[in-house]
Structure 1
Amino acid sequence: MARYHIETYGCTSNRGESREIERRLRDAGHHRVEGVEEADVAILNTCTVVEKTERNMLRRAQELTDEIADLYVTGCMALAQGEEFREADVDAEVLHWDEVPEAVTNGECPTPTPDAEPILDGVVGILPIARGCMSNCSYCITKQATGRVESPPVEENVEKARALVHAGATEIRITGQDTGVYGWDTGERKLPELLERICTEIEGDFRVRVGMANPGGIHGIREELAEVFAAHDELYNFLHAPVQSGSDDVLEEMRRQHRVEQYVEIVETFDDHLEEWTLSTDFIVGFPTEDDEDHEMSMALLRETRPEKVNVTRFSKRPGTDAADMKGLGGTLKKERSKEMSAAKREIVGEAYESMVGDERDVLVTEYGTGDSVKCYDSAYRQVIVQNADEYGLEPGDFATVEVTGHQTMYAFGEPL
């Protein structure tokens, strides 16, 4: 598991977000260390009150990148002025706080606790549908903690989803170590059935986001799954399928249960069924056997499939895994490859949000942002920020139609109509 170092600046809200980040990291088996020199990753939760504070945040971020391979920047400055870090050549992932725990994984799966139950966080309902996975990745220590997949009955998960909606959830986030293999332990592939029943049997206005599903698990149900997405407006047209590499040789060394062709076939299937959707994926950069050609294959796959959300992780060894015994690549090489991929990612994401400018979009407000703003998501789970929310009377749980007026690479700005 990852050893993380976290620093928090600013108000009580930031400190509360850091506590939640740490809770999720602890639940996933990661642990905190005080010194950055002992950590695998660092997390910087930023403040942006005055110009001097901004300069301090940029300076501290640069110091951390000099000390550690992987830095994740979140908090107010990250959300309001994320471009400042890139313009200062800070080599870091700029993320919303809620995305940090997922990113700090070295490509490992999320790890629900054995007693994981639905949680209502504002208007967002978190629904763990299963625990465990069917994979045996050579770099992942999570399997040692969770074992094989254990799937509660579909009816039980539908009832949990119904309870979340009745409690006030307008967005349900379906989670699991690998949602695509839900039901495999019973001899059936039940994810499409679960989604179908949530959308047809639960009354109310709500949206559903499906969490991480490995390509090996969903390839065999891709047609059925895409048809369910196309049939129900309740489902965000969003799929998180971590490919990890564009090289079949590297995937084999990783012991991933898919190959590049299968991943591409999943993308093509969703392209055929959905007019607009968002692909999310993960890449591990600098796996011990990855050579220059393998890296170029990953870059080519990124540009071919054009995912709009990409977690780029530099490989780091986890004790007790087979990959820990492999001779690793140098930190400088991993850093260079990570920067190249992150730059390509920003270009792809920026083009996607640029294409939205001038469109009218139906969105769901999910939470408050910085200042007098709210964060919303459209049908493809693209983030739209509405400023001056009080003026429009918008608050979490509301549905609205907005005109997209601009963007800032990783999100758009909208004005309600």
Structure 2
Amino acid sequence: MARYHIETYGCTSNRGESRQIESALRDAGHYPVDGPEAADVAIMNTCTVVEKTERNMLRRAKELESETADLIITGCMALAQGEEFREEGVDAQILHWDDVPTAVTNGECPNPGPGTEPVLDGVVGILPIARGCLSNCSYCITKFATGRVDSPPVEENVEKARALVHAGAKELRITGQDTGVYGWDTGDRKLPELLDRICTEIDGDFRVRLGMANPGGIHGIREELVEVFARHDELYNFIHLPVQSGSDTVLEDMRRQHRVEKFLEIVETFDSTLEYWTLSTDFIVGFPTETEEDHAQSMALFREVRPEKVNVTRFSKRPGTDAAEMKGLGGTVKKERSKAMSELKREVVAEAYESMIGETRRVMAVREGTGDSMKCRDEAYRQIIVRDADERGIEPGDFLDVEVTSHQTVYAFGEPV
């Protein structure tokens, strides 16, 4: 788990985004510290209202870079003028608000805290279906806290899901350190059954998003799983498969339980069954044993599968892990590789959202956004922003049809029709 320090500048909307970031970080087992010097990562949520503010943001970013191990810059200036930080030589990851929590995890399994009790956050119901992990990744510290997988019965999780829906949840987020191995501790692969029963046995108009599932666990159930997706409109056509590297050599050093071929076979199975779906994946760049050729293989895999949502993380050492004992790559190497992959990410993700322009999508309003906007999700969990939500009477939990009119790299804008 990482120690984090967050600084927020600007308006009430920015403060709200920071609260959401902190909530996600705490859910993942990270904790705040006093000051950037004591932090593994500092997060700067920026403002860009006037030129003086921009100068202050650049000055503070340089200070934070020298005071902390890793710096993430998000917020309005990062998204609108991210190149200014790069031109000033600030060594930082420039990320959208939504991508910050995953970047902090360093590719580790999520750790939603003690127990597996569900949580209702607005219209979003968070349902941890199991605790623990079957993997033994060389870079991950989460396994020390969570232990081996422990799966409650399917019936118990269905009842928790039903309680969330009855309490007002419109979006159920199925979470766990690795959802793909749910049930393995009892000798059965139960994830397809659980998703099928949630969709068929619970009354109400709601959507279900499956959380992170490692390729090693999903591969053996990929055909059964995608059939469940195809049968149920309640399931977002979205799957988060963290590949972490396009090099089998690096995957072996990471002690990942899959190789590139298995990852590709899962993607091909979903491609052949679902006409419209979103692939989300993670890459760790700058792992200690990653060569230039290994990095090139990761870039090639990225171009081949063209994921619509990507988390690019620079490797950083976690105390007590085997990877922490490896001789690391220099910061400049990690920075250059991260920059190259992040640029490719912007190109690929922007292409995906641009291709949606002119299409009509059925979306669900999930959360209030910046100003008077509403963050919505379509059937493939792609984010579509609807402006003037109050004026239009749109509230979280509402379903509506929108025409996609434009995009801004990692999300689209839509007009109700």
> Does TM-score exceed 0.5, indicating one fold?
yes
Q: Cα deviations across residues 228-247 of structure 1 (Å, max 9, x unaligned)?
A: 11111111111100000000
**Gaps spanning 5+ residues in structure 2: where?**
none
Residue in structure 1 matching 2:81, options 84, 108, 113: 84
Q: Tell me how far 1:64 sits from its aligned partner.
A: 3.7
What one-letter code is carried by the residue in structure 1 that aligns with 2:269?
Answer: T
TM-score normalised by structure 1 residue count: 0.93
What one-letter code is carried by the residue in structure 2 that aligns with 1:94?
Answer: L
Report 1:170-185 matches (<5 A).
170-185=170-185
Report 1:234-383 matches (<5 A).
234-383=234-383
Q: Cα deviations across residues 155-192 of structure 1 (Å, max 9, x unaligned)?
A: 11111111111111111111111010111111111111
The 3 A distance-change label for structure 1 pair 50 and 366 is farther
Q: Tell me how far 1:15 sits from its aligned partner.
A: 4.1
The 3 A distance-change label for structure 1 pair 392 and 31 is closer
In structure 2, distance between residues paired with 1:390 and 1:73: 30
The 3 A distance-change label for structure 1 pair 339 and 67 is farther
The 3 A distance-change label for structure 1 pair 86 and 267 is farther
Partner of 1:205: 205
The answer (yes or no) to whether the contact 1:72–1:95 under 8 Å persists in 2 is no
The answer (yes or no) to whether the contact 2:13–2:370 under 8 Å persists in 1 is no
The 3 A distance-change label for structure 1 pair 208 and 413 is same
Q: Cα deviations across residues 191-211 of structure 1 (Å, max 9, x unaligned)?
A: 111110111111111111110
Deviates more, 1:268-277 or 1:42-51: 42-51
What one-letter code is carried by the residue in structure 2 that aligns with 1:196?
Answer: D
Equivalences, count? 413
In structure 2, distance between residues paired with 1:396 and 1:59: 38
SS of residue paired to 2:194: helix
The answer (yes or no) to whether the contact 1:213–1:242 under 8 Å persists in 2 is yes
Q: Tell me how far 1:59 sits from its aligned partner.
A: 4.7
In structure 2, distance between residues paired with 1:217 and 1:64: 39
SS of residue paired to 1:116: coil
The answer (yes or no) to whether the contact 1:58–1:85 under 8 Å persists in 2 is no
The 3 A distance-change label for structure 1 pair 85 and 68 is farther
Q: Tell me how far 1:6 sits from its aligned partner.
A: 1.2
Partner of 1:389: 389
SS of residue paired to 2:385: strand
The answer (yes or no) to whether the contact 1:2–1:104 under 8 Å persists in 2 is yes
In structure 2, distance between residues paired with 1:259 and 1:281: 14
Partner of 1:193: 193
In structure 1, distance between residues paired with 2:151 and 2:176: 10
The percent of aligned pairs where both chains have the same amino acid is 77
The 3 A distance-change label for structure 1 pair 368 and 111 is same
The 3 A distance-change label for structure 1 pair 172 and 50 is farther
The 3 A distance-change label for structure 1 pair 100 and 116 is farther
What one-letter code is carried by the residue in structure 1 that aligns with 2:100?
Answer: V
Residue 162, structure 1, aligned to residue 159, structure 2: no
In structure 1, distance between residues paired with 2:241 and 2:306: 13
Q: Tell me how far 1:277 sits from its aligned partner.
A: 0.7
Q: Cα deviations across residues 256-276 of structure 1 (Å, max 9, x unaligned)?
A: 000000001010000011001
What one-letter code is carried by the residue in structure 2 that aligns with 1:415?
Answer: E
The answer (yes or no) to whether the contact 2:21–2:97 under 8 Å persists in 1 is no
SS of residue paired to 1:102: helix
Report 1:120-139 matches (<5 A).
120-139=120-139
- CA RMSD in angstroms, aligned pairs only: 2.0
What one-letter code is carried by the residue in structure 1 that aligns with 2:230?
Answer: A
Partner of 1:409: 409
The 3 A distance-change label for structure 1 pair 125 and 48 is farther
In structure 1, distance between residues paired with 2:73 and 2:398: 29
SS of residue paired to 1:83: helix
Q: Cα deviations across residues 289-326 of structure 1 (Å, max 9, x unaligned)?
A: 00000000000001101111111111111111111111
What one-letter code is carried by the residue in structure 1 that aligns with 2:33?
Answer: V
Q: Tell me how far 1:346 sits from its aligned partner.
A: 0.4
Q: Tell me how far 1:354 sits from its aligned partner.
A: 0.6
The 3 A distance-change label for structure 1 pair 345 and 115 is same
**Gaps spanning 5+ residues in structure 1: where?**
none
What one-letter code is carried by the residue in structure 2 that aligns with 1:270?
Answer: F
What one-letter code is carried by the residue in structure 2 that aligns with 1:364?
Answer: M
Report 1:22-61 matches (<5 A).
22-50=22-50, 52-61=52-61
Deviates more, 1:319-328 or 1:5-14: 5-14
What one-letter code is carried by the residue in structure 2 that aligns with 1:178?
Answer: D
In structure 2, distance between residues paired with 1:69 and 1:282: 21
The 3 A distance-change label for structure 1 pair 27 and 360 is closer
The answer (yes or no) to whether the contact 2:350–2:408 under 8 Å persists in 1 is yes
What one-letter code is carried by the residue in structure 2 that aligns with 1:31?
Answer: Y
Q: Cα deviations across residues 84-139 of structure 1 (Å, max 9, x unaligned)?
A: 22465364232235x43332111111112232311111111111111100000011
Report 1:43-122 matches (<5 A).
43-50=43-50, 52-61=52-61, 63-65=63-65, 70-75=70-75, 77=76, 82-86=79-83, 88-89=85-86, 91-97=92-98, 99-122=99-122
In structure 1, distance between residues paired with 2:96 and 2:191: 28
Q: Tell me how far 1:42 sits from its aligned partner.
A: 1.6
The answer (yes or no) to whether the contact 1:69–1:335 under 8 Å persists in 2 is no
Q: Tell me how far 1:344 sits from its aligned partner.
A: 0.2
What one-letter code is carried by the residue in structure 2 that aligns with 1:115?
Answer: G
SS of residue paired to 2:149: coil
